[in-house]
Structure 1
């Protein structure tokens, strides 16, 4: 049975983000699939509705308001490292980037053969409670191995991510690596729900294979009691990823009203 076009590729087709030859081939394959044209039409319709609900002018004003609030908070008192941003400030060019990000509605996920999510069985982890945090398992032929922060890891390691909500209702999981790439893990799309499940550790529904990016792979869990703007979290991760040395130790440049925690793997040959 032929495989249907995955959602991540469908989004790239809708946005025209593939090379011309690849785009033509992907569209041709989609047209041969049952309901392929209807899936593409629904996605394009959803994008138009999103833009209609959030005009560029209102998005720009809201971004500017949030930036002013964050800067006032930073000037009033230093923020703890897990919640604030040290040494750098956000400016209006960042606001412009956020607007462009929202308008383009792109999913900032690194999509290469080594990074495409692989469907795996959910890991069951019970009896773990406390603050919001990430759990990272390494999968091999035996039982999954629960890793510690700063554990050495290698290209090809297959990871399973889990989170503990710590009572927070919403969250976004992203990662940055030593090459400056940013990957979205939860939700799986920019417009996906950010709701977290409460209670014991919850495994994300896809595993993640490490590529050959040098230095590190760092995962962030950003939590809130209100729905999160996935695009803003991705933009913060992009800003941080531009400076690999900082990206390995600094928090995401987000408002102090959002909590965040991270988990780092040290890449070794």
Structure 2
């Protein structure tokens, strides 16, 4: 029996992100699968629907809105030089282009806007040094709190993910939930750059709203000194997600050349 084409390779076929020979081989393999052509058609249809939902004029308005948000953040940072909180970690326009023009087989929803510039952060989170790790903030009553691992969370909680590179040059962030869904957070597409920014905590481009998946939401930060194959990380996350009794505690099944840390939220009704 022929092996099923993995989702990450299916997306690269749809995007044409392969060399001519590799693309021809991948399409031939897909043709031999019982439902290969139908899977590709569904992915291409989903991509077309995404483009239909985001016409150019809407995109232009969103870029302008986020640019105004960035101006507010810069003004706040200039007024309070010691504040480094939730600065944009990726170029806004580039992130939007990649998000809108890509078809992602992972769980995808309209990304919430970045959290407001007015935040209250614990002082020790600024300029933290040490190993690479994630910082998870939750917006509550107009302010933002830094969460501890295993904090209880609910559907509708609005989170902002940030990372500390800890001297690592490349990284990617994915999450697995209690329903077995896998979400890619950084980069925003399979072909996006995995390079990390140095220094203080860097916020990801979008906030993240928790859905009604039960039990837990677990975020993984995978790092390396070399560029990372995002598709490999996603496949590892999907493999772990298929083991619901282990997904909340075990590490991703990745090569030893990749380091990883995780942060878990315990979901409550």
TM-score range, shorter chain: 0.5 to 0.7
TM-score by length of 2: 0.62
Number of residue pairs matched by the alignment: 185
Aligned to 1:119: 113
Moved over 4 A (4+): 13-16, 22-30, 121-125
Please show how residues 87-126 of structure 1 align to structure 2 within 5 Å.
Answer: 107-112=104-109, 116-121=110-115, 126=126
Cα deviation, residue 144, structure 1: 0.4
Cα deviation, residue 33, structure 1: 4.4
Aligned to 1:173: 173
Determine the C-alpha separation between the residues in 1 that align with 2:216 and 2:49. 35
Aligned CA distance change for structure 1 residues 136 and 18 (closer, same or farther; 3 Å)? same
Which is further off, 255-264 or 137-146?
A: 137-146
Aligned CA distance change for structure 1 residues 142 and 239 (closer, same or farther; 3 Å)? same
Aligned CA distance change for structure 1 residues 167 and 26 (closer, same or farther; 3 Å)? closer
Aligned CA distance change for structure 1 residues 23 and 129 (closer, same or farther; 3 Å)? closer
Aligned to 1:129: 129
Determine the C-alpha separation between the residues in 2 that align with 1:227 and 1:176. 22
Structural RMSD (CA): 3.0
Q: Residues 216 and 248 of structure 2 are in contact (CA less than 8 Å); yes or no, is this contact kept in structure 1?
A: yes
Aligned to 2:220: 220
Aligned CA distance change for structure 1 residues 26 and 213 (closer, same or farther; 3 Å)? closer
Q: Residues 173 and 219 of structure 2 are in contact (CA less than 8 Å); yes or no, is this contact kept in structure 1?
A: yes
Counterpart check, 1:267 vs 2:264: no
| Partner secondary structure for residue 235 of structure 1 | helix
Compare relative contact order (CA 8 Å, sep 6+) and give the higher one, 1 or 2.
1
Cα deviation, residue 108, structure 1: 4.0
| Partner secondary structure for residue 148 of structure 2 | coil
Aligned CA distance change for structure 1 residues 186 and 27 (closer, same or farther; 3 Å)? closer
**Which sections of structure 2, spanning at least 5 residues, go unmatched?**
1-11, 16-39, 60-101
Cα deviation, residue 18, structure 1: 5.8
Aligned CA distance change for structure 1 residues 18 and 201 (closer, same or farther; 3 Å)? same
Determine the C-alpha separation between the residues in 2 that align with 1:200 and 1:185. 19
Cα deviation, residue 230, structure 1: 0.3
